[in-house]
Structures are given as C-alpha cells and as structure tokens.
Amino acid sequence: MDNEAFRLIARLKVAAARVGQPIDVVRFAADRNYARASMQQFAATSDEEGALLVLQLMDKLAMTAPLPPPRPAPEPAAETATAGSKNDTDTRYLGRLR
C-alpha cells in the first residue's frame, strides 16, 4: 500500500467513527475480507461523500473487479438440408404421418 491508500483508510476510520462504526485499521490493512465488510457496512450508512470515499478506497486497493467483455451473440443454426431433397422429406414426416 502507498501513502494515498493509508490516507484514505484514515479518512474512512474517522468518518466511520462519526456514524458509530469502529474500524480496526491494522486488521483493515491485513485482512481483505474484513476491509470489504467494513466498507460495505459503512457505505450502507453513509452519505454521498462516504460512498465516494469507499469507492476511491476500493479502487486504490484493487478490490473492484473489471467487467468481463461482452459475449458475441450466438449465430442462428444454418440449415443443412436443401429444399426438395429426399433428406428434407425424411425430416418433415415421421413414418406414415404427414
């Protein structure tokens, strides 16, 4: 972590203390699950600035996963039998049923 990440963690600790949520900064820096849970809990109870702080910190700590690229749409299946052939007739009728 760099100094900017430490500053954001300190700002989060102070802002979370204002809303009554204690954050252990040592555990926050060492445990990603605790950090994620703490930020989610704080974001749920904070205002716009608090949510922005959480987003900045998540970006700084690389906790945001990039979106996967969009998948191409599947192509429709091409017909293999040609019209009027014996195979076309065989696939249209089952036994003696028409």
Does the residue 90 lie in any domain? Answer: no
Name the 3-class secondary structure at 67: coil
Q: What pLDDT, in 10s, does the model give residues 32-57? A: 899 889 988 888 887 888 888 888 88
Q: What is the pLDDT of residues 71-95, one digit of tens each?
A: 777 777 655 545 555 555 556 666 6
The boundaries of the domain holding residue 23 are 3-60
Looking at the chain, the number of H-run helices and the number of E-run strands are: 5, 0
Domains contained in the chain, number: 1
Taking residue 5's Cβ as centre, other Cβ atoms within 10 Å add up to 14
Residues 6+ away with beta carbon under 8 Å from 36: 63
What is residue 61's predicted lDDT score, i.e. its pLDDT? 83
CA atoms of 64 and 56, how far apart (whole Å): 10
